Structure 1
């Protein structure tokens, strides 16, 4: 039994890797944008001396010292939400799930295999971003204050929530082009509203805080805020350090002393996403077969599965696979 599951796990890893190779542009475009933004903030930073008579010149790029955590968070949204939704929808329209779920392979195990690959791929990308940022002295200095428990906890929660919502979008949206529109719109908006494209210091200090209010719409804001706080080494969200034109100043990222909000909202989002995923998989891949066949007292679930597959088989090879899978 364990050997069989291990074989399925390896096959799923290979299958998804080959899919990524066929879609290199889709997989790495978002990552490229993230690296460019991170490079811009870390490289083109001009500190003007306080005593410089020309310090009022617009030469200073103001950025958040937790910019690396923001970049890692945005890349996680790309990999675990956008790419997850893309590959899951591709599998769905090819009837991969209908055929597989009708066999003896566990739905949970299959989803876990796909999520595991996505998480491993995301960790590799995050590590590359981290190593890139370590080329800068300012980012190496930040490591002394990082609370790794908070940061990694927020990172894992963000990745899991993105995975769950990505799977939901893949199953809920019928057309592939609409999946791409929804996920790309969400990704690019997140880039500029969640601390990478536009620093939180700029969002907080602007006269009209409409962009800050919009940022609360994004579910990923809350686990990403935990990551950003962990990078600064504490649970607070209103005394985050930011390099200003003259000094290191305190900024907030929009919770005004209510430090419980990101943690509670993140926990609720995770629970909601789990329930949503359970509902949509059951509604699409179980109830249909039950209503058609298992309403007859003498038709077992295994027989219903086999009838379901036989009805949709179109080639001799598919019939052979059904026979092998059903024993």
Structure 2
């Protein structure tokens, strides 16, 4: 029995991954926004500053943020707006399978984006091949993994806490764009972390991706002359230019890793708590369960009685349109029921104390 459940869940996981992949490739904007913009900015900078030790890894990091956070949020907002999330909620698919499918798909596509950007960088810019040969790849790989984890967790956090698609997209764009310009791709990191503007470096500690991206940049440059790869002094880029950067963290690499892990843990914990509370609420909400059961039974009955493919198509379209119209009302009802339940619980506690 247990083996059958494992096989069943695996088939469901593969099916969800197939659906995710199909939808991702059907939307050309996912491909363009996924890495096209970051790749374009990176290539433009490398044309003029081919020997810069931070541009390639910064471009990859921004591509990871774009795909791992922004595209995740955009993709799932489309699911929610089209009623796909509601339809999945009416199935018996375990929540962990759905989350695992999202995580795996996000990881696979982000890995693909990173590989493409890296290959472009080392293929067309010889100086980047020289830098890649000297890089501390243990730090770079772990740092880029943390960039992705931070991005995925932030995507889940935004999608979970901000139900309005426009607002959630605005927040993800804000985080992405500021990370692009202030963490090493839009503007050189040695300019951003200039000692003359030390106060700005302190502000950037609030940026979720700062810790992991700085680690990736330092690992790729791999300048240990100062005793720490996080403090670069007069690194020779070419005959006319040297770079000096203090990434902060008092030169201690473990502090940067700690900051990255704490960021992931903080936003991840908030998302898990929020999702758990929503699941717990819906389980207690017998009225909502009854409505869902009745609607599902009605839908199944219509499908069973359909005589041809045209009827099935019309049933699906009608159901999809119905779910879209009900989405706003359902959210209002959910909030109202939640508030009423809280009032009831508060009244019970008050009476109990009396």
TM-score range, shorter chain: 0.7 to 0.9
Which of 57, 65, 88 lines up with 1:77 in the alignment? 65
Change (3 A) 1:308 1:283: farther
Change (3 A) 1:249 1:316: closer
- Give the Cα separation in 1 of the matches to 2:299 and 2:91: 17
| TM-score scaled by length of structure 1 | 0.80
- Give the Cα separation in 2 of the matches to 1:223 and 1:86: 23
1:29 positional shift? 2.8
- Give the Cα separation in 1 of the matches to 2:198 and 2:54: 21
> Does 1:29 find its partner at 2:21?
no
Q: 1:88, 1:167 within 8 Å by CA — same for their partners in 2?
A: no
2:282 match: 288
Change (3 A) 1:115 1:74: same
Change (3 A) 1:167 1:204: closer
1:202 positional shift? 1.2
Which of 48, 51, 56 lines up with 1:44 in the alignment? 48
> Does 1:250 find its partner at 2:254?
no
Change (3 A) 1:171 1:12: same
Change (3 A) 1:4 1:30: closer
Q: Point out which structure has higher relative CO (alpha carbons under 8 A, 6+ apart).
A: 1
Which of 98, 117, 121 lines up with 1:110 in the alignment? 98
2:230 match: 237
- Give the Cα separation in 2 of the matches to 1:314 and 1:244: 71
Gaps of 5+ in 1: 47-62, 294-303, 322-327
1:131 match: 119
Residue deviations 1:162-219 (CA, integer Å, cap 9, x gap): 1111012112112212122111121111100010111111123373345434322211
Which of 256, 259, 264 lines up with 1:265 in the alignment? 259
Change (3 A) 1:88 1:200: same
Residue deviations 1:76-132 (CA, integer Å, cap 9, x gap): 100011011112223234444454345442211210111101110011111000110
2:312 match: none
**Higher share of residues assigned helix:** 2
Count matched residues: 294
Secondary structure of 1:119's aligned partner: helix
Change (3 A) 1:311 1:226: farther
1:13 match: 17
Change (3 A) 1:247 1:2: same
- Give the Cα separation in 2 of the matches to 1:189 and 1:88: 22
2:190 match: 201
**Runs of at least 4 residues of structure 1 off by over 4 A?**
318-321
Secondary structure of 2:206's aligned partner: coil
Question: Which segment drifts farther, 212-221 or 77-86?
Answer: 212-221
1:244 positional shift? 6.4
2:107 match: 119
1:151 positional shift? 1.1
- Give the Cα separation in 1 of the matches to 2:217 and 2:102: 28
2:323 match: none
- Give the Cα separation in 2 of the matches to 1:207 and 1:145: 30
Question: Which segment drifts farther, 122-131 or 3-12?
Answer: 3-12
